Amino acid sequence: MRYRVMAAVFLIWITAFCQSTLLEYLEIFNVRPNILIVLMVIVALLRSTVESAAMGLLFGLTMDILMGKTLGWYALLFFLVSIPISMINDKLYREKFLVLITFAFSSTVLIETVFFLIIFMFRGYSYLPYLFGTVIVPEAIYNSILILPLFKPVSKAYNLLDTVDRRRNRLPS
């Protein structure tokens, strides 16, 4: 359990660092991928509902903190999106590219569209069609590509943690 918590903290911390520094260099047409959404989807595809929801909430909260604006919106959206994915993950061929791409794309579109509606529409902005085409869809495509190289290493890391846990608790592998 202790290793699991340490691994989760490390994953969130390194993701936060990458999102606020390295990913600036991957910007295309002023749009950068959102590695936090990508990792939330990966965790939701791999883990139980409780673990996915907790990690989703923490990834979202990290995004809120990094942005330095109102805390909680991304946390809520990540939390709510990770639950349904994790509930059906055992019925999916998780390693299929199409499954990964579909979930990364739809999760990004859902999270960013609702975030836009919450943040911008209340202020009287009406740019949704414009921003859907110039920000949300490009980011979703970007995330769909990014999930492909990231899925396997994260999956392997979780398998390793499971093995360590089983050995420590002397459970059969």
Partner 1 sequence: MRRILSNKIFILVTVIIILLTLVAVSHSERSGINIIGNIISIPAAPLQKAFTFVDEKISDFFGYFEDVKETKKANQELLQKVNELERQLLDLDRLTKENKELREALNFKDQYEEYEFVGSSIIAKDPGNWFEVFTINRGKNDKITTDSPVITAYGLVGRVSKTDLTTSRIVSIIDIDSTVSARLSKSRDLIVVRGDVELKGKGLCRADYIPPNTDVMPGDTVETSGIGGIYPKGIIIGKVVSVISNQGQYDSYAVIEPVVDFKRLEEVIVLKKK
Nearer to partner 1, 6 or 119 (CB): 119
d(CA 46, CA 74): 21
Closer by beta carbon to partner 1, 126 or else 173: 126
> Do the Cβ atoms of 55 and 8 come closer than 8 Å?
yes
Alpha helices in 89-172 (DSSP H): 97-119, 128-131, 137-168
| Phi, psi dihedrals of residue 70, rounded to the nearest 5° | -60, 130
Least distance in Å: CB of 10 to partner 1?
11
- Least Å from the CB of residue 78 to partner 1: 10
Q: How far is the CB of 71 from partner 1 (least distance, A)?
A: 4
- Residue 91's SS3 state is helix
Tell me if residue 93 falls in helix, strand or coil.
coil
Q: Whose Cβ is closer to partner 1: residue 94's or residue 120's?
A: 120
Nearer to partner 1, 90 or 171 (CB): 90
The conformation of residue 96, written as its DSSP 8-state character, comes to -
Nearer to partner 1, 76 or 99 (CB): 76
Q: Minimum Å distance from CB 165 to partner 1?
A: 23
CA distances from 119 to 107, 129, 152, 173 (A): 18, 15, 34, 47
- Minimum Å distance from CB 34 to partner 1? 7
List residues binding partner 1 (CB under 8 A).
13, 16-17, 19-24, 29-32, 34, 36, 53, 57, 62-63, 65-73, 75-76, 79-80, 83, 112, 115-116, 119-120, 123, 125, 127, 130-131, 134-135, 139
Distance CA(164)–CA(170), nearest Å, equals: 10
